[in-house]
Amino acid sequence: MRLNASHSCLIVVFLLTIGGVSAQTTSPYSYFGIGDLQSTAYAANRSMGGIAMALSGQGLVNISNPASYAENGFTTFNVGLRGKGVTQQTSTLSRNEFNAALGYLSLAVPVSKKWGMNAGLIPFSDMSYDFADLIIDSNFGEVNNRYSGIGTLYKAYLGSGVKVFSFKKSAGDNGQNEVLSGEKSDKQVEIQQLRIGANVSYLFGKLEDTTSSEFADSSNFFNVRKRQVTTINDLVFDLGVQYSVKLKEDIWLTIGGSLDLSSQLNAKRNFIWETYKKSGFGPDIVKDTLLITDPDNNKGIIVTPTRIGTGFAIENGKKWLIGMDFNFTDWSKYDSFGDDGPLNNSWEVRFGTQIMPDPKAVNNYWKIVNYRFGAYYTTEDVLLKNTTLADYGVTIGLGLPSRNRLTNFNVSVELGQKGTTDNNLIRETYIQTTLGFAFNDRWFIKRKFF
């Protein structure tokens, strides 16, 4: 295989990614459950409101529905970087934050005309919160109780998608062309297709929750801190299906669905107790440390929720596409070491569209650019002070092809809002940008010699 410009660029981006920034925006809502669950959508999907259930082909790798892998026509390397700026507000206070991190990393390979595979790495959830509660104790005086958490769970996955059914008919219009010509056409065109797929993922990472009590009268009391470190290493599974039917010339309807199976994750939880004093200039001065690690009692189970998604998309070749998704997550069986937590079922609706002005344009680059728009509305799994939290926003993006149209640069911008200032809660207004690079090539094509 000859190393060309796209391969060189791929290697550079890969090196930048594995050595790049990994940071999190602090969000008090990540305190609940196993953190703030991250979207599996790539940049192209995110710019269309996050729709994914019925999307496949056109160089689009879609981890959200593994049935789509059967339509992979190229060996595709994808890397995505995300940046997020957030303004957090209460009724009286506000603060701004920014983070940048790896969004996704994957390699998709067409094994045959009916079978495709995909492997990659994506963040599964982020935990990053920090808040405090100042109280006056009759014995200890002023005490600042501080709660913080940090950590990321990652998902390394291997998926496969297969075309299990394909119905074709003669290229003639219901046989009329054959009758007029007096000849039978040998050309067959596909009018129906059924695809199924599955992902097997290894979920791993650490989540660290810290609770500390700091005394204003530090001359008489040592501050106390408890760290709870939860380590997760286990497998999770999700399934997908897509059915496509040709409505008329170049127009296809695809209906898709996915099922993320509930899993009982094996986990370990250790506790570290410390007494310390604040130095005022550098790290805390730790006096005593007690690590509680009982091999017989530190193991437990975290039960993840079942998630069901469905959606449809109508497309006219590369000219335009429109689609909608509906997803539901059942948190009723969530459990973490025997604690089910205050979590509620959540749902989301997503809408998106894509337009390319003229796929056959030669002299006008902007006519072969994909213009994408979308919107979404989700209810969160957290119910606080009898208030259901919502996350909603609009999206916009571009798909910018290279000169040979094999390499694509996708950019997505989301403007959204999560939470509310009602009942003394926190509202987060955010702008998130995702940059995606898709390198397509035919690396594993068997050469023919004549």
Per CATH, which fold does 5-441 belong to? Porin (2.40.160)
d(CA 32, CA 418): 15
pLDDT at residue 444 is higher than 90: no
pLDDT at residue 103 is higher than 50: yes
pLDDT band at 294 (very low <50, low <70, confident <90, very high): low
Q: Residues 49-65: what's their mean pLDDT? A: 89
pTM, to two decimals: 0.85
pLDDT tens digits along 353-391: 999 999 988 889 999 999 999 999 999 888 888 888 999
Q: Residues 205-228: what's their mean pLDDT? A: 86
Higher pLDDT, 395 or 89: 395
Q: How many CB atoms lie within 10 A of CB 175?
A: 12
The residue whose two tokens read 């060996």 is 75
Q: Phi, psi at residue 181, to the nearest 5°?
A: -85, -20
Q: Are 395 and 49 in contact, with CB atoms under 8 Å apart?
A: yes
pLDDT band at 58 (very low <50, low <70, confident <90, very high): low
- Output the pLDDT for position 176: 45
Q: Among residues 149, 120, 132, 133, which one has the least CA distance to residue 40? A: 120
Number of residues in the chain? 450
pLDDT band at 272 (very low <50, low <70, confident <90, very high): confident
Which residues are bridge partners to 376 per DSSP?
A: 350, 393
pLDDT tens digits along 15-42: 334 333 344 557 888 988 899 999 999 9
Residues 6+ apart with CB under 8 A from 3: none
Tokens coding 161: 């998608």
pLDDT band at 446 (very low <50, low <70, confident <90, very high): low
- Output the pLDDT for position 213: 87
- Output the pLDDT for position 127: 92
- Output the pLDDT for position 447: 54
pLDDT tens digits along 177-214: 444 444 555 677 888 999 999 999 999 999 999 999 88
pLDDT at residue 449 is higher than 70: no
d(CA 254, CA 350): 16
- Output the pLDDT for position 84: 93
Rounded to a whole number of angstroms, the distance between the first and last alpha carbons of the chain is: 20
d(CA 342, CA 35): 13
- Output the pLDDT for position 435: 96
Higher pLDDT, 447 or 437: 437
Average pLDDT over the chain reads: 85
Q: Are 270 and 307 in contact, with CB atoms under 8 Å apart?
A: no
pLDDT band at 170 (very low <50, low <70, confident <90, very high): confident
Tell me the C-alpha to C-alpha distance, in Å, between residue 51 and each of 336, 373, 418. Answer: 30, 11, 19
pLDDT band at 6 (very low <50, low <70, confident <90, very high): very low
pLDDT at residue 83 is higher than 90: yes
pLDDT tens digits along 236-247: 999 999 999 999
Q: Residues 428-433: what's their mean pLDDT? A: 96
Gyration radius from the chain CA atoms: 26
Residue 129 CA, distance from chain mean position: 20
Residue 284 is classified by DSSP as: -
347-373 in b/e form (b: 16+ CB < 10 A) is ebbbbbbbebeeeeeeeeeeebbbbbb
Q: Are 24 and 101 in contact, with CB atoms under 8 Å apart?
A: yes
d(CA 98, CA 83): 7
pLDDT band at 13 (very low <50, low <70, confident <90, very high): very low
- Output the pLDDT for position 14: 40
Q: Residues 279-288: what's their mean pLDDT? A: 76
Sign of the Cα torsion 376, 346, 239, 128 reads: positive
Residues 6+ apart with CB under 8 A from 8: none
pLDDT tens digits along 114-166: 999 999 999 999 999 988 888 887 777 788 889 999 999 999 999 999 999 88
